[in-house]
Amino acid sequence: MTTTDPETLLPPATGAWREGADPGRRRFLDLSAPLPLESGGELPGVRLAYETWGELDATGSNAVLVLHALTGDAHVTGPAGPGHPTAGWWDGLIGPGRPLDTDRWFVVAPNVVGGCQGTTGPASRAPDGRPWGSRFPLVTARDTVRSEVPLADALGVGTWALVVGGSMGGMRALEWAASEPERVARLMLLASPAAASADQIGWAAPQLAAIRADPGWHGGDYHDLPVGAGPHAGLGVARRIAHLSYRSGYELATRFGRDPQPGEDPFHGGRYAVESYLDHHAAKLVHRFDAGSYVRLTELMNAHDVGRGRGGTAAALARVTARTTVVGISSDRLYPVAQQEELAAGIPGAELRLIESPYGHDGFLIETEAVGGLVTELLG
């Protein structure tokens, strides 16, 4: 291993982007008023980080909103580098000649409120100058739409030509279409539900418990601790659990089987190859993400219910006026296809498309050619 391998380096207390660091491609918008919250009260001093590609046309009709999943951010496309610890997570979709052709479309990607890559979240400084930490409130998918409406206004976007997202991003995209139907012309929901199920909340429970049980959690107030301190073990366990739900049993079996990690003997303290794979993903995450954000955004996903306060799921889905494509992944065991069938049946005129993939839930990120073809079709 090299000295830059995440498994050999002490992680910082938080992997969040912090004020004063290289902004990379980020742009920022400070909301002019506190953000009202479904959970009660309001969140003051909200700053949104976002990235854009392409140019808004004279009519303001070519804007596309891309919404990221739990551990994603606004850096949808582009290389890793200063300010960006990883390359874009949907790199094959955005750029000249790609499905979201930036010679034609103005693409906007905000980092979600509660996130940790430039938008206000638990690692950010509150108005009193201290990190928000444990004081950061629950923000719902509906709240994130309220935060992003001012961004659309500031950019001159009256109606999005397309709002697209997968997993948590799909929850946010659905809330955009239900909360602001006149501002969403087309909608693509990938591997996401109308509401989080008991099974999904159950998958999240041990992840949250692992983080909160870590002695480095300090009740959520750890952000100013030195390098090497912080809830890294708990966040790593959470990532291991989550990653198993993101992939299919078939893929893990065909990729790893019961093979030991090369050079290690599981009968004498060594690891199986699949264990090493999970260890690697855990180590990468603790260097680029914040445990407090992981907790709050997982709670956001648990709270997702488009029908809340709207007379139920059917009434909420009927509010959507966008031309809609709902996309399921055949092997998704976290957000199974039955949930996309419910969306497609409830949204007027929606079309259900299935991507055959062995990769499980992560298929919406990995099968970029198939996703790109559906994007092109919807925008055509």
Query: To which residue do tokens 């009260």 refer?
Result: 41
HSE on the CB side for 359, CA within 13 Å? 12
- State the residue range of the domain holding 142: 27-379
Residue 6 lies in a domain: no
Residue 20 lies in a domain: no
From the CB of residue 129, how many other CB atoms can be counted at a distance below 10 Å?
A: 6
Per the structure block, which two tokens stand in for 140? 């719902």
Residue 112 lies in a domain: yes
One digit per residue, the tens of pLDDT, for the chain of length 380 reads 334 555 667 899 999 999 999 999 999 999 999 999 999 999 999 999 999 999 999 999 999 999 999 999 999 999 999 999 999 999 999 999 999 999 999 999 999 999 999 999 999 999 999 999 999 999 999 999 999 999 999 999 999 999 999 999 999 999 999 999 999 999 999 999 999 999 999 999 999 999 999 999 999 999 999 999 999 999 999 999 999 999 999 999 999 999 999 999 999 999 999 999 999 999 999 999 999 999 999 999 999 999 999 999 999 999 999 999 999 999 999 999 999 999 999 999 999 999 999 999 999 999 999 999 999 999 98
Per the structure block, which two tokens stand in for 193? 């539900």
pLDDT at 5: 58
How are beta strands 35-36 and 47-53 bridged, if at all?
unpaired
pLDDT at 2: 38
DSSP 147-162: HHHHHHHHHT-SSBSE
Among 195, 188, 183, which residue's Cα sits nearest to residue 159?
A: 183
Spatial separation of the C-alpha atoms in residues 126 and 220, rounded to whole Å: 14
Counting the structural domains of the chain, the total is 1
Residue 18 lies in a domain: no
Residue 43 lies in a domain: yes
Spatial separation of the C-alpha atoms in residues 327 and 192, rounded to whole Å: 8
CA angle 207, 213, 218 (to 5 degrees): 115
Residue 14 lies in a domain: no
pLDDT at 9: 78
pLDDT at 47: 98
Residue 120 lies in a domain: yes
Among 187, 162, 172, 169, which residue's Cα sits nearest to residue 346?
A: 187
Instruction: Assess contact for 230 and 289: CB atoms under 8 A.
Output: no
Spatial separation of the C-alpha atoms in residues 43 and 31, rounded to whole Å: 10
Spatial separation of the C-alpha atoms in residues 29 and 13, rounded to whole Å: 26
List active site positions: 167, 332, 361
Spatial separation of the C-alpha atoms in residues 316 and 373, rounded to whole Å: 28
Residue 178's CATH number: 3.40.50.1820
Strands, DSSP E only, in 2-154?
Answer: 27-30, 35-36, 42-43, 47-53, 63-67, 106-110
pLDDT at 3: 40
pLDDT at 280: 97
Whole-model pTM over 0.85: yes
Q: What are phi and psi of 334, to 5 degrees?
A: -90, -50
Spatial separation of the C-alpha atoms in residues 375 and 34, rounded to whole Å: 35
Q: Looking at this protein, which amino acid is placed at residue 245?
A: S
CA angle 137, 141, 144 (to 5 degrees): 75
Query: To which residue do tokens 């303290």 refer?
Result: 269
DSSP state of 166: E
Residue 198 lies in a domain: yes
